[in-house]
Structure 1
Amino acid sequence: MRERLERYQVVAYLVAVLAGLLVGTRSPALAESLAVGLWPLLGALLYATFTQVPLLALRRALVNARFLSAAVLGHFVAIPLLVWLLVQGLPAEPALRLGVLLVLLVPCTDWFLSFTHLGGGDTPTAIAFTPLSLLLQLALLPLYLWLFLGQAELAGLLQRELLLAFGGLILLPLAAAWLTERWAAGRPRRERGVAALGWLPVPLLALVLFVVAAGQVGQVREFLGLLLWLVPLFVAFLGAALLLARWLARAFRLPARQGRVLAFGFGSRNSFVVLPLALALPAGLEMAVAVVVIQSLVELVGMLAFLHLVPRLFPDAAQAAGTR
């Protein structure tokens, strides 16, 4: 039954997104009230995901030099260069360019872990990389903004949001999952209870998608004219991220499951963290909010496509043998 749930997860996610868009259109007040539950839902999603991961494997993942080299090169050298190239084709509108830079320069540190897990990636390796990813974001984002836009003063606000998100969405669920693992160790009844939490990631992710779609449809409607520019740009980014992951996985001779981590990591951005920052920007930069919203909705659809594409592009040994 659980295998069937995961097999049809993409259908569940698409239904959740469509239902969210409908609710956001018909009942904006309800959608706004639902948005309060986004971070608790993300925290619950990551806790349920972490409980299904052998956390003791994190130490081994931390010393995986080949993966760490590929991930750092991709996230913090290749992708910033790609983003800079993509921005050159946009109109010379500061708020538009700022929004694109904010949302594409910062790698995701939350729900990409769940997509990695659901897509058959090496989740312990993904979790182990997250603290390093956050530290590099905090250190390099001021430099990126200064080089690309001359807006280093905005980095301090973003750093606070990143730290809050890391504490609330990564450290707390991870600590709770570790304590749960210790509590259940060696006790079959408790271990069965922890295993039963494996049913939760799919419905919880569907709820997250519902809330995001419901809460952000209004922003998209307000700046519909941006869709002409941004949707092709964000789709191109997802395609380039997928190709980059495949190339780096081959160049560094990574196992298929670690290649999947690169694919989901490169394709997903920290839109849930950047959105509060964009909302706090000074008057006249409201367009940046719409940019973040549109990217997050494009990414939702993109990650659903990734769940189908990534296992095919990065087949494990059993899959590769079955295709011969």
Structure 2
Amino acid sequence: MLERLQVWVCLAAIVLGLVLASLWPGLGEGLTAWVWIALGLLLFVTFAQIPWEAIRLAFNDRRFLVAALVGNFVLVPLLLIALLPMAPDDPAIRLGILLVLLMPCTDWFIAFARQGGGDSACAAAFAPVSLAAQFLMLPVYLALILGPGETVGLMSPTVFAAAALLIGLPLSAAVLLEQALRVRGRVQVWQNRFGVATVPLLALVVGLIALAEAPVVFEGGRELLGVIPVYLLFLVGAAALAWALARVFALPIEQGRTLAFSLGTRNSFVVLPVALALPEALHAAVMVIVLQSLVELFGMLGYLRWMPRLFPAPQAPSEPSGSS
């Protein structure tokens, strides 16, 4: 139920944060530490749901693995380069778009793949591979798209250290916890419990960010809304890429749907620490990332209806009628 309602819960949290900020200006000041704490908890429960033991299973089906890697780390960046000129000409907004759309999702795409008739086991096996690959590739992508000089300026040692700390601590704790739980045979039980905590924590994070970053929204709301067409076109383009890749690699129907959810969902809350650590002048990137997650959640509702049509199940042959 929480998975089905998460888009409305998050939307309500964002609206509540903005309303509180408009009624009591300055209420969001000094919330940075609380945002980091809430985000750290969200990242922990997110990482704790990734089946790290399944990483070896990803290499059992190399055809899907190669298709997913090519789609997420070759074709999606090319799609993003084609869409970026449509975005508002604001460095902070464009940086936020790059940060969020370059990072494939590793958590709720598994749930959406399961709900959409995909191969959830295949999705779970790909998640840890995707997480490792995106951390290696993000600096490369930024250097190629923005230029090495600008990337070095943005990704200062302070930004890198803050982001690495907020991501690294929850990640390490989640991996260690899974190993301890695996010894006791309690991994699945706790992963289910963490799954229940994800939506409330998600709502808390986006609500706090909306409250803290409300001045950015009120001052540049029109420009922020200008990213929505980019996000919508991205969702359409990602589905088209998945359809083409599924045919090139001759993937089964379930894996084709899983590939679509992998390409269409992005790792917004894993990349948020990077945006939060950026200089104040670039803090619009934070709301750009939050807005992407909201658009994506609505987009996934469309994907759940669209994927069975884009990847239809084969029709069972009708039995010939016998003569009496």
Matched, 1:37 2:30: no
Matched, 1:107 2:106: no
The question of whether the paired residues in 2 share the 8 Å contact of 1:234 and 1:298 is answered with no
SS at match of 2:235: helix
The question of whether the paired residues in 2 share the 8 Å contact of 1:13 and 1:205 is answered with yes
1:121-140 equivalences under 5 Å are 121=120, 122-140=123-141
Residue equivalent to 1:218 = 215
One-letter amino acid of the counterpart of residue 229, structure 2: P
Tell me how far 1:153 sits from its aligned partner: 2.5
Residue equivalent to 2:266 = 268
Give 5+ residue unaligned stretches, structure 2: 115-119, 318-324
Give 5+ residue unaligned stretches, structure 1: 281-285
Distance in 2, matches of 1:43 and 1:218, equals 26
Structure with the greater alpha carbon radius of gyration: 2
Q: CA, structure 1 residues 205+114, in 2 after alignment: closer, same or farther (shift >3 Å)?
A: farther
Tell me how far 1:35 sits from its aligned partner: 1.7
1:1-324 equivalences under 5 Å are 4-27=1-24, 28-30=26-28, 32-33=30-31, 34-50=34-50, 53=51, 55-89=52-86, 95=91, 99=95, 102-104=98-100, 106-108=102-104, 112-119=105-112, 120=114, 121=120, 122-146=123-147, 151-154=150-153, 156-157=155-156, 160=161, 163-185=164-186, 195-227=192-224, 229-255=226-252, 256=254, 259-260=257-258, 262-270=260-268, 271-279=271-279, 286=281, 288-290=282-284, 292-315=285-308, 320=313
One-letter amino acid of the counterpart of residue 125, structure 2: P
Aligned residues: 299
One-letter amino acid of the counterpart of residue 181, structure 2: T
Distance in 2, matches of 1:194 and 1:253, equals 32
- TM-score after normalising by structure 2: 0.73
Distance in 2, matches of 1:162 and 1:67, equals 31
The question of whether the paired residues in 2 share the 8 Å contact of 1:70 and 1:248 is answered with yes
The question of whether the paired residues in 2 share the 8 Å contact of 1:115 and 1:264 is answered with no
Tell me how far 1:191 sits from its aligned partner: 6.9
Q: CA, structure 1 residues 48+96, in 2 after alignment: closer, same or farther (shift >3 Å)?
A: closer
Q: CA, structure 1 residues 19+138, in 2 after alignment: closer, same or farther (shift >3 Å)?
A: same
Q: CA, structure 1 residues 141+194, in 2 after alignment: closer, same or farther (shift >3 Å)?
A: closer
Distance in 1, matches of 2:80 and 2:226, equals 14
Tell me how far 1:226 sits from its aligned partner: 1.6
Distance in 2, matches of 1:101 and 1:11, equals 23
RMSD: 3.7
The question of whether the paired residues in 1 share the 8 Å contact of 2:84 and 2:94 is answered with no
Residue equivalent to 2:320 = none
One-letter amino acid of the counterpart of residue 49, structure 1: Q
Tell me how far 1:215 sits from its aligned partner: 3.0
The question of whether the paired residues in 1 share the 8 Å contact of 2:97 and 2:288 is answered with no
One-letter amino acid of the counterpart of residue 276, structure 1: L
One-letter amino acid of the counterpart of residue 236, structure 2: G
Percent identity reads 23
Show CA shifts across 1:192-249 (max 9, x none): 5665444323333333333333333331212234236433233323332333234333
The question of whether the paired residues in 2 share the 8 Å contact of 1:113 and 1:126 is answered with yes
Tell me how far 1:261 sits from its aligned partner: 5.4
Distance in 1, matches of 2:73 and 2:286, equals 23
Residue equivalent to 1:283 = none
